[in-house]
Amino acid sequence: MNTVRIQGVGWINATGWGRVLQSQAGAYGDGAGIPPWKDPGLFPVPVKNMARFDVAARMTLCACALAMRDAGWTLGDGTKRDMGLVGTNGEGCLTANQTYFQDYLAGGRVLARANLFVYTLPSSPLAEAAIHFGLQGPMLYIGYPGGGLAELLGTAVLMIAGGDAGGMLAVKADEREAVAFILAPGNGGGGSLSVGDLVKGLPAGAGNRDWIERLEQMMKGSGGV
């Protein structure tokens, strides 16, 4: 894990958002709602059809955008990137499955809605992110029962080290919280954190909040970026 560095981290939850390497965080104002998918500061170019996305897809997009901004990337310029996307969550797309099939049943089992059916894949939110951000590397969902972010980052590192992509966006997104990491090859220096140091400092089963706090500690320890 020493040759792959974290270049950006973004998170959102029920009360706020953060960009870890830039030490930026904020709380939602009254009525702002979560996730902040209409915020032009986050999405300079509006995400096509985002109003139709399910909540998990919106959370995924928001966390990815925050991570990319944290890495200092310009968003919405139409650039295609040799970057892969691997994502995980707790329950796959069970809620989307239920929404789609309930709607079909309510309609008399005659006609399903295509725009609900397309979200009945665990990889659908990732696909929306890949399309909006122009990510042309590998794109897949991996569920890690009993595991989580450490395994997700390990997969992203494996894919970079194996030459599958020039960089990876790794995201864990549920309906109430999401965190995304930008990983790329590198040997240290300013503007990045060690994946290995991060993972070593956390117990198995650590939650998103534990990860964010660990990252913030690392930032303080390095004097910031």
Partner 1 sequence: MKVLVVQQDLVTAWGRGMEACWAGLMSGAPAFTDVSRFSTKAFNAHIAAQIPGLPEGGDSSRVMRMLAPLLAPLAGALPEGTLVLLATTTGEVDLLERHLLSGTPARDQSRLDVLLGRIQAVLGVTGPGRIISAACASSSAAIAHGASLIAAGERDSVLVVACDAVTEFIYAGFASLMALDPEGARPFDKARKGLTAGEAAGVVWLMSGERANRENRRSLGEVAGWGMSCDANHMTGPSRDGGGLANAIDKAFRRAGVDCGSVGSVSAHGTGTPYNDAMEMKAFRQVFAESPVPVYSIKGSLGHTMGAAGLIEMLVALKSMEMQVVPPSANLHEVDPEAVGWVSRHGVTTDGMNVVLSTNSGFGGVNAALVLKS
Tokens standing for 157?
Answer: 């590192």
Residues 203, 196, 191, 84: what is their CA dihedral angle, to the nearest 10 degrees?
A: -100
84 is a contact residue toward partner 1 (CB under 8 A): yes
Residues 29-48, one symbol each (x = binds partner 1 by CB under 8 A, - = not), give --------------------
CB of 57 to partner 1, least distance (A): 10
- Closest by CA to 116, choosing from 94, 127, 101, 132, is 101
Please, are residues 65 and 43 in contact by the beta-carbon 8 Å criterion?
Answer: yes
Plot region of 6 (φ>0 → left; ψ -120 to 50 → alpha; else → beta): beta
User: Binders of partner 1: how many residues, by CB under 8 A?
Assistant: 54
- Closest by CA to 12, choosing from 214, 151, 155, 175, is 175
Residues 184-223 within binding reach of partner 1 (CB under 8 A): none
Please, are residues 139 and 123 in contact by the beta-carbon 8 Å criterion?
Answer: yes
Please, are residues 94 and 174 in contact by the beta-carbon 8 Å criterion?
Answer: no
Of 62 and 127, nearer to partner 1 (C-beta) is 127
Of 78 and 223, nearer to partner 1 (C-beta) is 78
54 is a contact residue toward partner 1 (CB under 8 A): no
158 is a contact residue toward partner 1 (CB under 8 A): yes
CB of 206 to partner 1, least distance (A): 15
Asked if omega into 35 is within 30° of 0 (cis), the reply is yes
CB of 156 to partner 1, least distance (A): 12
Residues 116-155, one symbol each (x = binds partner 1 by CB under 8 A, - = not), give -xx-xxxxx-xxx-xx-xxxxxxxxxxxxxxx---x---x
CB of 221 to partner 1, least distance (A): 29
End-to-end alpha carbon distance in the chain: 20
Question: Residues in the site for partner 1, rule: CB under 8 A?
Answer: 80, 84-85, 91-92, 94, 97-98, 100-102, 104-105, 109-114, 117-118, 120-124, 126-128, 130-131, 133-147, 151, 155, 158-159, 161-164
